A and B are shown apart, each in its own frame.
Chain A
Amino acid sequence: MRRFIYVVALFAGCASQPEQPREPGPAPAPEAQQLPAPPPERVPPPRAETTAVAGLMDSARTDTAAGRLTNAAATLERALRIEPRNARLWHELALVRFRQGDYAQAESLAARSNTLAGSDAELRSANQRLIDDARSARR
């Protein structure tokens, strides 16, 4: 059931693509590509308050999947300007930074997400795992 809802949410996101097709962004930094990415199933599904942010989140995920991490980060920052208290957005940005190899930022952003997560235990534990991963990657 949960998985089904997730898939529906994903498609709903696709339907509300906010902008025109974007130009391919600059290639991610070479060192970023060799880094192990956290398994995607550990990421909690996006939850957005507005359709604007839902669309941006979705396009950020598309960019992330295609390796356009710079664009994904820019899009998430754009979404954060609309919903700065959305703990899931901070988490998504932390994930992108992790994939870019910026573990310090990944850790800070996940911690920021935690301070806004309220009673979202699922998100809290995802953040904690990301923080742990980032710490061990920095060592």
Chain B
Amino acid sequence: MARRTKLRKFLRFALLATLLAAAGFTLFLDIRVRDEFEGRRFALPARIYARPLELHVGLRMPQADVLDELKLLGYRDIPRPGEPGWYLREENRLEIALRPFVFWDGAQPARSVSVAFEGGKVSMLRDAAGTDVPLARVEPLAIGGIYPAGNEDRVLVRLTEVPQHLVQALVAVEDRSFYRHAGFDVRGLARAVRSLFTDRVQGGSTITQQLVKNFFLTPERTIRRKATELVMAVLLEIHYDKNEILETYLNEIYFGQDRDRAIHGVGLAAQFYFGKDVQYLSVAESALLVAMIRGPAHYDPYKHPARTLERRNLVLRETREQGQISLEQYAAARSSPLGVTRKSGMGTSPYPAFLKLVHRQLRRDYDEKDLRSEGLRIFTTLDPRAQGAAENALTKRLAQFDKEKRFGQPGLEGAVVITDPQSGEVQAMVGGRDVRYSGYNRALDAGRPVGSLLKPAIYLTALSEPSRYTLLTPIDDGPFLWKSRGAPDWEPLNYDKKFHGMVPLRLALAHSYNAAAARLGTDLGVEKVLANVRKLGVERDVRPFASSMLGAVDMSPFEVAQMYQTIASGGFRAPLRSIREVTTQDGKPLQRYPLAIEQAFPPEPIYLLAAAMQDVVREGTGQGLKSYLPPEVAVAGKTGTTDEQRDAWFAGFSGDRLAVVWVGYDDNRAARLSGSAAALPIWGDLMSALSPEPLALARPPSIEMVSIDPQSGLRGGVSCPGAVELPFMQGSAPQERAPCSGPMDAAVEAAGEVGQAVSKGVERAKSWLERLFGR
């Protein structure tokens, strides 16, 4: 008897304890649910955009390239009235329904423009009403993100933006009693319990349960986990209304992989699969997304179109059975194709090399955690057209070189950097021949000897002393030996193993003669030359050896671009930038990275140097570019080849682009590479694909053009065959006339001088009058 009482007591106690424990556990779950659901903000990746394409009359961009960019942006070539994101091509015209976009400086609504092209340029730009439009900004291409753990990517949407038919299809298929149940569905639950004992795939979870599962729990299948899920689902329903639960679900749900990137939420799924914003999804498209929820890998519209189409139609049928769509809607949707866009296969980014640069520049100002969770919008300088041209040129040429084994065994690598010579904006970066590979970035991190690429610093130093050096000054290209304490003897040889005697300065650079450059550099002073290397923008330490001047210095293509930038922009150094603006997720401006320049050299010697670098291409080691670019483009550049022909370089610029190309082997082996044979063709290919603007150097007033007879190096004129116009610092040109030069030439020259004096006088009178009468 006593024992029975004891047992009862114990049972009562046990029951109480269990109840208490259950209550405690529920309370714990309740706190967790509320805490996490309320405090839960989806970790949103920083979203990174390319530069927006600015359409305007006069833009140097052929129709085909504009079309390429629109296709990258997912524009379709079928008009969809009432919906942006398409274009219509009619011969040289293009009608574009631009999507709305929130730019750094404000929102721009959707608008239609009509563009005409002529001679590779935009010749007309009008709006839908036929009025001329000065400028139309196309929304920028999303080029990747900085992702939270698991590379989860999503675009948040509000429930009100989601089309009704999507929600209806979802409820019809996934959880019919969603609007009535309290978090669980008895029949579904029974099915789930049964599935625990059989081995069938479990189903019957309500939308609320699915959300709890994705949100809080691991995917194991145990009774305990199922119970926890159930309790949490009920708690969620107690605290939040159906719409809040639905909205969170729609943003959470998983829609498959894009390489290493996980697609979450209907917002991103709509963009990824259909190239449109969620509000524009059709009935059929919505049904496809709902069909995928059950198993995005199993119902992958790209890999298993037949199976997926079947399931989509099942979704449509169930939606129809629930009376949510009309018979007409059903019939139309059922007969439509899957309609997914051509898969771009972007992964975390199609341009990993450029993204690495952006990420590195961002990390100076932002926490890694904020970059991975705050949904910042980063507007960069990437020009997809330049990037495409660089990738094409590099991959095609390297494949060809490998096949021919012209420079050595297969396995050549390469890197490219393209910038805007005026602003220092980085337009393209290729880190290796596998352009989608996000590992080793040769453009940024490969330090390789630069060879003759440093020579311009020697010539710039010389031309900064116009009383001693002009473009015509004879430089001795005889055998040269340099002895200095603390460094081995240095005896540079020429590429052709010959010496060329006395050569005019500009030709010594054009032909990249080593002995001449070494003699000139040591005459000027190694320290002085290397100081100018630093002033050109090279920040890494350069050893103070004479051999450094001839390129025994390791630099990355990015650093070379920084150095050449200063030459291309008239002596103004501009730090290379990859970011323009950063805004919050909803478009509030956070930070701008403004254009910043600093005058490093006076314009005159830079002008003379750039003119000499045009001669490199006109008559020197860069002559090969003749078969890529018309002579009037008059690009300036320099080849670079290193010891035992291990590295090939070409760096140069047109009026609107600066590009640096490097080719070599990762293991730095000796090869048969040379700048003009291996790097120049890649440079030529990419530049010619970009229809570059001619390089018209801005001539400083103190520089005069003088006709020179190439035979004597004296003043020539029309009577001298092959006379060339060369720039000189005023008063530094030769005074003596060449024998071929006749009295006519002198007269023409004198007349020119009188003309100049007259125009100067007029200018002076004008400003005097202005002062007198005011403006």
Contacts and interface: CB of A to CB of B under 8 A. Distances in A.
Given A78-B54, A112-B597, A115-B603, A51 B134 contact: yes
A74 B104 CA distance: 10
Given A22-B105, A105-B596, A81 B423 contact: yes
B572 A112 contact: yes
B423 A77 contact: yes
Interface in B191-249: none
B597 A105 contact: yes
Interface in B14-31: none
A77 B766 CA distance: 32
Given A51-B57, A73-B594, A18 B134 contact: yes
A112 B566 CA distance: 12
Interface residues of B, number: 45
Interface stretch (B87-95, B106-114, B642-650, B723-731): B106-114
| Interface residues of A, dominant DSSP | helix
Given A21-B106, A51-B132, A77-B423, A108 B599 contact: yes
A55 B134 CA distance: 7
B57 A77 contact: no
A121 B763 contact: yes
Given A2-B775, A73-B594, A119-B763, A52 B56 contact: yes
B752 interface: no
Nearest to A21: B106
A82 interface: yes
Nearest to A119: B763
B700 interface: yes
A108 B598 contact: yes
**Max count, chain B CB within 10 A of own CB: residue among A2, A41, A74:** A74
A41 B596 CA distance: 26
Given A2-B775, A50-B58, A75 B105 contact: yes
Interface in A65-114: 70-71, 73-75, 77-78, 80-82, 84-85, 93, 104-105, 108-109, 111-112
- Among B104, B587, B595, B698, max chain A CB count under 10 A is at B595
A54 interface: yes
A105 B626 CA distance: 39
Contact of A77 (B137, B595, B701): B595
Given A22-B106, A25-B105, A80 B134 contact: no
A16, A23, A55, A56: most-surrounded residue (chain B CB, <10 A): A23
B310 to A, nearest CB: 46
A109 B597 contact: yes
A26 interface: yes
Contacts of A20: 106-109
Given A23-B106, A80-B422, A93 B595 contact: yes
Given A52-B135, A105-B596, A122-B767, A25 B108 contact: no
A114 to B, nearest CB: 8
Nearest to B571: A115
Contact of A52 (B104, B105, B134, B423): B134
A116 interface: yes
A3 interface: yes
Interface in B641-669: 656
What bracket does the count of chain A residues touching chain B fall in? 35 or more
A111 B594 contact: no
Nearest to B596: A105
B710 interface: no
A19 interface: yes
Contacts of B570: 112, 115-116
B575 interface: no
A112 B599 contact: yes
Contact of B599 (A21, A73, A111): A111
Contacts of B56: 50-52, 82
Contacts of B137: 19
B420 interface: yes
Interface in B112-163: 132-135, 137
Contacts of B572: 108, 111-112, 115
B595 A3 contact: no
Contacts of B589: 25-26, 70
Contacts of A6: 775
A118 interface: yes
B770 interface: yes
A50 B569 CA distance: 22
Given A105-B597, A115-B698, A121-B763, A54 B106 contact: no
Contacts of A26: 589
A131 to B, nearest CB: 10
Interface in A1-33: 2-3, 6, 16, 18-23, 25-26
A47 B770 CA distance: 18
B597 A52 contact: no
A127 B519 CA distance: 40
A37 B595 CA distance: 21
Nearest to A52: B56
B500 interface: no
B396 interface: no
Contacts of B571: 115
A41 B775 contact: yes
A59 to B, nearest CB: 10
A78 B375 CA distance: 25
Nearest to A3: B775
Interface string B594-608: 111111000100000
Interface in A31-62: 41, 49-52, 54-56
Contacts of B701: 119
Among A108, A115, A119, the one with the most B-chain Cβ atoms within 10 Å of its Cβ is: A115
A13 to B, nearest CB: 10
Task: Sort A-B residue pairs by CB-CB distance and give the 9 closest, nearest first.
Answer: A52-B56, A84-B422, A22-B106, A18-B135, A23-B106, A51-B134, A52-B135, A55-B134, A52-B134
Given A19-B137, A52-B135, 15 more contacts: A3-B775, A18-B135, A20-B107, A20-B109, A22-B106, A23-B105, A26-B589, A73-B594, A74-B104, A108-B572, A111-B572, A112-B569, A115-B698, A116-B698, A121-B763
Interface of A: 2-3, 6, 16, 18-23, 25-26, 41, 49-52, 54-56, 70-71, 73-75, 77-78, 80-82, 84-85, 93, 104-105, 108-109, 111-112, 115-116, 118-119, 121-122, 125
13 contacts: A19-B108, A41-B775, A52-B54, A52-B57, A54-B134, A78-B54, A81-B423, A84-B423, A105-B596, A112-B569, A115-B700, A121-B763, A125-B767
